[in-house]
Structure 1
Amino acid sequence: MLEQVYLANPRGFCAGVKYAISYVDTVFENLQGETLYVRKEIVHNQRVVSEMKKRGIQFIEELNEAPDGATVIFSAHGVAPSVVEEAKRRNMRVGDATCPLVTRVHKKAKNIKDSHQIIYIAHRGHDEAIGTMGEADMFLVEEESDVENLKSQIDPNRPLTYLMQTTLSVSDTKNIVKRIEEVFPFVEHPQKDDICYATTERQEAVTTMIDSVDAMIVIGAANSSNSVRLLQLAKKTKPLSFRITGKEELNPKYFLDNQIKTVGITAGASSPQVLVDEIVSELQRHFPKAKVGLYPGSREDLMNFKLPKELLTQF
């Protein structure tokens, strides 16, 4: 019987997600009825996207789904320069809700693309990876084993460095970087890695509490990289851990069958607090005697990004 529910802190929305959602909300309100298009999911969470759709915001996969001259916002994951150029050719009014930390990686890529060979540690096909790799020629690495395959492609007489997708596993990435260093001892290490503070802090929160629970519940979408990383991290120590997107996926029998008495809850950086509240309420409905509280010693996420001052005059 479930006895204790611990909430990880920080969990859920990060500053970049808050920034992107606030960006869309601000532009939508300022347009006063004009159709607003958003390219790709603004963040990887269906609850967030569906709520925006209810308000009349249109989501598209590519720019050709919107008319010339339309107002389009790029998602938090960023876009390749070719997408920006297409929007300019079609006289679109563009809003860029890219997370500032992703934008920082784009700028680094542009600054070094003529001077360095670049290894990009990322997940193939992820929206952030597609956008970043559009900035320069890069060698994509997903696993340690991929590093070996680059031996015949990288010129030892040219400078080499690496960049990272912001939502990767901290521990896994360290192992990949170590392997890059072993295979290419001449590699230049960046002054700072690219994994965002939110990813790091949410993974640290899970690591801190994992020994005090029987399992972790990770709230997040399957295409949310940071949510998947949180689950992988939890399952390394507590294999009963699982990921869900909403309360309807909870199975109380699972807790009983596996004798789970203490469970921790975390949420990916694009998961809203309302999902956490709903899942906690559902657990309490099935296990009314279970106590719920923040994990002792956890700290709040205080990071925030300010919207551009010119945003209201731009639209």
Structure 2
Amino acid sequence: MLQTIYLANPRGFCAGVKYAISYVEQVQAQSDEQIYVRKEIVHNRRVVEDMKKRGIRFINELGEAPDGATVIFSAHGVSPAVVEDAKLRNMKVGDATCPLVTRVHRKARRYKDEYQIIYIGHQGHDEAIGTMGEAKMYLVESPEDVEKLTDRIDPEKPITYLMQTTLSVADTQIIVNRISELFPSVEHPAKDDICYATTERQEAVAQMMDSIDAMLVIGADNSSNSLRLLQLAQKSRPSSFKVTSSEDLDKEYLEKNRIRILGITAGASTPQILVDEIIEKLRYFYPGVEVQLFPDSREDSMSFKLPGKLLN
């Protein structure tokens, strides 16, 4: 029977997600026009549905909105081709891209004329698509992918690499090590691209592993950072699992795996209300369960200021 729930800290919304949501809210408050958002503003269905209820319309491509419309780019960023398309359509553009993703885009533009760029990321992820639109890059998802580049990259010419911001720190280091082994001349960026929120949330989960029976990760199925948290937890506690909402909770699973002490964390795009609803349902299952912050956990204190001019 479940006895204790430890809450990881930090968990849930990161500064980039808060920035993107606040951005959309402020644009809507300052405009009388219909607001369109290209792609999901963040990878969480609850957040998207709440915005739809407030009148925000979500589109996959710019052609789904009329020329001249007000369109906001999501937190994951877009390629220069999308920006150019918006200009051709005379759209008023707002950019809710996470500032840490924007930093990776700037590095790509800086490197593109001089370096062969290896991009460590996930094929098809919105962030990867946007970043790779900035320059010619070689996408790798594993050490094996790096090995396939030996006949495509010239070791005599400058080489560097960039990363998707939501990756597993440990898994990415394995890929970086393989890049270094196969391309000894590679220039390592001064700072890794994996964002502080991803790193801190992974560190918080790792810190809890010896004190729990399983970790519950709350996050969307298309949330890269949520999936990385689950993979990290399952390495030490195989019965760890992920849910997208309280409806996914299965008391039988908890009983079958004899989970007495459960850790809870949430992906960087998961709202606190989802965490609250899941805790409420666990309390319904187990009325006497104790819920507390994991000892020695720390708060996420970073924030990003919105730009003075929201639309271009």
Q: TM-score, normalised by structure 2?
A: 0.99
C-alpha separation between the residues in 2 aligned to 1:223 and 1:68? 30
Runs of 4+ aligned structure 1 residues displaced above 6 Å come to none
Gaps (5+ residues) in structure 1?
none
The match for 2:36 is 37
3-state SS in 2 of match to 1:44? coil
Cα distance, 1:45 vs. partner?
0.2
The match for 1:83 is 82
Show CA shifts across 1:67-114 (max 9, x none).
000000000000000000000001000000000000000000000100
Show CA shifts across 1:250-270 (max 9, x none).
011111121110000000000
The match for 1:149 is 148
Q: Does 2:22 align with 1:22?
A: yes
C-alpha separation between the residues in 1 aligned to 2:154 and 2:111? 16
The match for 1:300 is 299
The match for 2:225 is 226
The match for 2:137 is 138
The match for 1:2 is 2
3-state SS in 2 of match to 1:275? helix
* Equivalent position amino acid for 2:147 in 1: E
The match for 2:13 is 13
C-alpha separation between the residues in 1 aligned to 2:25 and 2:122? 29
Gaps (5+ residues) in structure 2?
none
Q: TM-score, normalised by structure 1?
A: 0.98
Q: Does 2:216 align with 1:217?
A: yes
* Equivalent position amino acid for 1:9 in 2: N
CA RMSD of aligned residues (A): 0.7
3-state SS in 1 of match to 2:155? coil
C-alpha separation between the residues in 2 aligned to 1:133 and 1:103? 12
C-alpha separation between the residues in 1 aligned to 2:229 and 2:156? 39
For residues 209-288 of structure 1, what are the structure 2 equivalents within 5 Å?
Answer: 209-288=208-287
3-state SS in 2 of match to 1:270? coil
Cα distance, 1:145 vs. partner?
0.5
Cα distance, 1:280 vs. partner?
0.4
Cα distance, 1:36 vs. partner?
0.4
* Equivalent position amino acid for 1:125 in 2: G
Length, aligned pairs only: 312
C-alpha separation between the residues in 1 aligned to 2:255 and 2:135? 52
Sequence identity, in percent?
Answer: 69
C-alpha separation between the residues in 2 aligned to 1:175 and 1:155? 22
Cα distance, 1:63 vs. partner?
0.2
Cα distance, 1:217 vs. partner?
0.4
Cα distance, 1:310 vs. partner?
2.0
